[in-house]
Chain A
Amino acid sequence: MSDSTPHSSDLSAGGPAVGQDEWVARHDERRLARGPILGPLEQRLRRVPWWAWLVLFVALLALVPAVSGSGYVRRVAFDTVLYMLLALGLNVVVGWGGLLDLGYVAFYGFGAYAYAMLDSDKFGIHLPTLVSIPSVVILGAILGLLLGLPSRRLTGDYLAIVTLFFLQLFQTVTTNGDQAFGHNLTGGPNGILRVDPFHAFGHSLAVQHQGVFAVSYYYVAIAIFAVVFVALWLVNRSRTGRAWRSLREDPLAAEAMGMPVSWLKLLSFSFGAAVAALTGTVFAALNASVFPLTFYFVLLIIVYTMVILGGSGSQPGVVLGALIVSPMLELLRDPAKGRILFYVALLGGALVAFRVSRKLGVIAASTVAFGFAMHAIAGAIDSKWVAGEHGPGVSGAIAHWVVVPAHLARWIPPVAYIGLIGMALVLTLVHSRVRIVLLVPTLYLAAFVWENVMLTNPEPARYIILGLMLIVLMILRPNGLLGERRVEIV
């Protein structure tokens, strides 16, 4: 819509000036006005075709094992790619179909279990991978269709509840499936073990190489990711993709155009199920085992966070979401790394919110001063209040800044948590000056909670941090990092 958008007042000589939309006509001008470097650079970057970005991204992913030989790092990278796949699939349902699917991870579990049953000693079936993967994907898609059918119109809350039941049903079936009519079908809580690795043409892809994670699975996952990404990209660009978009935009108008509304929604649901099932096969093959509890609410929340954070509806967005959340959750397991991440994130968040400006300087200076003051006051009142042990890592400066009591009273953690969340919510309501003034104690309280509560109890802390990230996002970018801004008809 750049140069092909002329002023068209000449269209109807003498008539009213239709089509002079200043804003649109000057779009490029405004973009160039962003400065001599940034403007043209942005324009040039925009001209890079999508597949070039994809190739670049996949190439970077493929370099990870070359950069780090650690089996742990490679394993985290592998899990991240699986998360990307899951996020891409959920994006079809949530972002494109506009459906709230709370049973999504059950399809992932279905894929894993189906692969485990088709390729293990469990039933003595060992289908070649090139047969079992397509079968599982098709079965997943059909299962999605079947589940969607009864809730034919697939309206929001209705579908959410149905899918929630489905997730619970999946748990029940897999957990109790060891006593189904006197047969052991699913292995119950102990799952299915000794699942075959991928194998084709007489070769088998070992999951471990000299005792560490075999990098070949990482490449398989990347290849599948690339294929799924391209396939979904093409689907989104197809007529069906545009129909999804119009459906989301205005369901009534879409219906008035004769679009088969229910069918289109069902289709997105089924697509998502197929992608999740596909991802499940890779998961089962690599881990050589499946257990019911892997596919439960925590995973559901994580994948949803990725989609919402990255920008539901945008493929690069949800991939970015997975790329941020998955390694972050890993880092938070380790207090030392987690601490670095925490303070970097605080700083980064402030940078994004205020840019490099006087405001940022004021906030940073006040927060530092506020901290030392609090520490000094607390220490003066009772030296035990600041005598607590600091964990490993960057504790030098922080030791004199954050108050860490030797003994934390039982009531402090919940009060501090609730206070922090309350203050974060208040921050979303207030503006300008007040926000800045309140931000300082909030940041300090965050640091207090982090040092005293989260570091001593990292497991729940990881998810609370996810929640906080979403709150911050809600303030800064309600449509996610790469989400589309809605265009309103006024």
Chain B
Amino acid sequence: MTAPLLSLDGIDTNYGPIRILQGLTLQVSAGELVCLLGGNASGKSTTLKTILGIVKPRNGTVRFDGEDVTNRSTSHRIKKGMAIVPENRRLFAPMTVLENLEMGAYLHNGGKKEDFERVYELFPLLYERRGQLAGTLSGGEQQMVAMGRALMAKPKLLLMDEPSMGLAPILVERSFEIIKQVHESGVAMLIVEQNANVSLSIADRGYVLSTGRLVLEGPAADLREDEDLRKAYLGR
């Protein structure tokens, strides 16, 4: 078996004296779609921040695409092929959709024409709205911009923090269709979700995090059958 695209090994991450992640070990292979489940404050966003290098782990290593990136900068990791759709989207509100997309490709000279075209093809609406200020878009549209912005960096691994947050159920389904579509184009994904049902239905594998520790992992199909998990997250 070839080495996974991303592997976390024995990660401990602290915020000051408080330990958030404890001995986290997790892999994402090239082209795989993995979801990370967990309740509020279980450390999901912190995991993504650790992967991206926005916070540095106290112990453990982060390997990405054959390199130990534990001590490398965020921009180095993004150059190597990571991108993130942050929690709450965090668009640049007073800038246009086009400018937001451009900022996503900041490390790639602002993006080539074909990068924009690729994104517009996925989200035709963004093309129509390219001149509109991102802050004036609806929540659903903002989600599209956030995804488009991340895809502008042509990532090998796309990190997504709660893509379904604040979306109407029908929009959740649509955005997961788009996620699937992006995934099928060859992008590996690590998706953080509260919505276990939808995310497990498209994922290959899943991890479950509870107060900073992994409590469960396995193929998505198995997780969906798991009694405990059902009780905890699927609500039935």
A residues adjacent to B (C-beta < 8 A): 1, 4-6, 8, 11-12, 15-16, 18-19, 21, 23-24, 239, 242-243, 245-246, 249-250, 252-260, 484, 486-489
Q: Return B104 CB to nearest CB of chain A, in Å.
A: 6
Chain B residues within an 8 Å CB radius of A19: 125, 128-129, 138, 141
B69: Cβ under 8 A from any A Cβ: no
* Contact (Cβ within 8 A) B171 A257: no
* Contact (Cβ within 8 A) A239 B92: no
CB under 8 Å from chain A, chain B span 90-138: 90-96, 99, 102-104, 106-107, 109-110, 124-125, 128-129, 131-138
Pairs A-B, 3 closest by C-beta atoms = A258-B78, A487-B135, A253-B90
* Contact (Cβ within 8 A) B149 A257: yes
B residues adjacent to A (C-beta < 8 A): 52, 54, 74-75, 77-79, 84, 86, 89-96, 99, 102-104, 106-107, 109-110, 124-125, 128-129, 131-138, 140-142, 149, 153, 168, 170-171, 174
* Contact (Cβ within 8 A) A1 B132: yes
* Contact (Cβ within 8 A) B75 A258: yes
* Contact (Cβ within 8 A) A18 B138: yes
Chain A residues within an 8 Å CB radius of B103: 242-243, 246, 254, 257, 259
A253 touching B92 in the complex, CB below 8 Å, given contacts A1-B131, A21-B136, A487-B133? yes
A239 touching B132 in the complex, CB below 8 Å, given contacts A256-B86, A256-B90? no
* Contact (Cβ within 8 A) A256 B84: yes
A18 touching B140 in the complex, CB below 8 Å, given contacts A1-B131, A243-B103, A259-B103? yes
Chain A residues within an 8 Å CB radius of B107: 257-259
A24–B96 alpha-carbon span in the complex (Å): 13
A487 touching B93 in the complex, CB below 8 Å, given contacts A5-B132, A18-B140, A257-B104? yes
* Contact (Cβ within 8 A) A259 B106: yes
* Contact (Cβ within 8 A) B92 A249: yes
* Contact (Cβ within 8 A) B94 A245: yes
A489–B139 alpha-carbon span in the complex (Å): 9
* Contact (Cβ within 8 A) A15 B95: no
* Contact (Cβ within 8 A) A239 B102: yes
A21 touching B138 in the complex, CB below 8 Å, given contacts A11-B124, A249-B95? yes
* Contact (Cβ within 8 A) A243 B129: no
Chain A residues within an 8 Å CB radius of B124: 11
A252 touching B54 in the complex, CB below 8 Å, given contacts A4-B131, A245-B92? yes
A24–B141 alpha-carbon span in the complex (Å): 14
A239 touching B131 in the complex, CB below 8 Å, given contacts A245-B94, A252-B90, A484-B94? no
Main secondary structure, interface of A, reads: loop
Q: Return B81 CB to nearest CB of chain A, in Å.
A: 11
Q: Return B142 CB to nearest CB of chain A, in Å.
A: 7
Of all chain B residues, the one with the shortest Cβ separation from A262 is B73
Chain A residues within an 8 Å CB radius of B84: 256
A18–B128 alpha-carbon span in the complex (Å): 12
A143–B94 alpha-carbon span in the complex (Å): 32
A249–B91 alpha-carbon span in the complex (Å): 9
* Contact (Cβ within 8 A) B95 A242: yes
Chain A residues within an 8 Å CB radius of B102: 239, 242
Q: Return A27 CB to nearest CB of chain B, in Å.
A: 9
A488–B170 alpha-carbon span in the complex (Å): 26
Q: Return A54 CB to nearest CB of chain B, in Å.
A: 23
Of all chain B residues, the one with the shortest Cβ separation from A6 is B128
Q: Return B181 CB to nearest CB of chain A, in Å.
A: 14
A4–B125 alpha-carbon span in the complex (Å): 12
Of all chain A residues, the one with the shortest Cβ separation from B82 is A258
A257 touching B78 in the complex, CB below 8 Å, given contacts A18-B141, A21-B138? yes
Chain B residues within an 8 Å CB radius of A23: 136
With A254-B103, A258-B77 given, can you name 4 additional A-B contacts, CB distance below 8 Å? A1-B131, A11-B125, A246-B99, A488-B135
What would be 25 A-B contacts, judged by CB atoms less than 8 Å apart? A16-B140, A18-B140, A18-B171, A23-B136, A239-B102, A239-B106, A239-B109, A239-B110, A245-B92, A245-B94, A246-B103, A249-B92, A250-B92, A253-B86, A255-B74, A256-B74, A256-B90, A257-B149, A258-B75, A258-B79, A258-B106, A259-B106, A487-B133, A488-B135, A489-B89
Max count, chain B CB within 10 A of own CB: residue among A12, A258, A488:
A258
Chain A residues within an 8 Å CB radius of B90: 250, 252-253, 256
* Contact (Cβ within 8 A) B136 A487: yes
* Contact (Cβ within 8 A) B149 A245: no
Q: Return A21 CB to nearest CB of chain B, in Å.
A: 6
* Contact (Cβ within 8 A) A249 B94: yes
* Contact (Cβ within 8 A) B129 A15: no
Max count, chain A CB within 10 A of own CB: residue among B95, B103, B125, B168:
B103
A260–B79 alpha-carbon span in the complex (Å): 11
A24 touching B136 in the complex, CB below 8 Å, given contacts A11-B124, A259-B103, A489-B93? yes
A19–B77 alpha-carbon span in the complex (Å): 34
A5–B137 alpha-carbon span in the complex (Å): 12
Q: Return B82 CB to nearest CB of chain A, in Å.
A: 8
Chain A residues within an 8 Å CB radius of B79: 258
A246 touching B125 in the complex, CB below 8 Å, given contacts A258-B153, A488-B135? no
A370–B174 alpha-carbon span in the complex (Å): 68
* Contact (Cβ within 8 A) B95 A246: yes
Chain B residues within an 8 Å CB radius of A260: 75
Q: Return A147 CB to nearest CB of chain B, in Å.
A: 23
Q: Return A181 CB to nearest CB of chain B, in Å.
A: 42
Q: Return A490 CB to nearest CB of chain B, in Å.
A: 8
* Contact (Cβ within 8 A) B171 A16: yes
A8–B97 alpha-carbon span in the complex (Å): 16
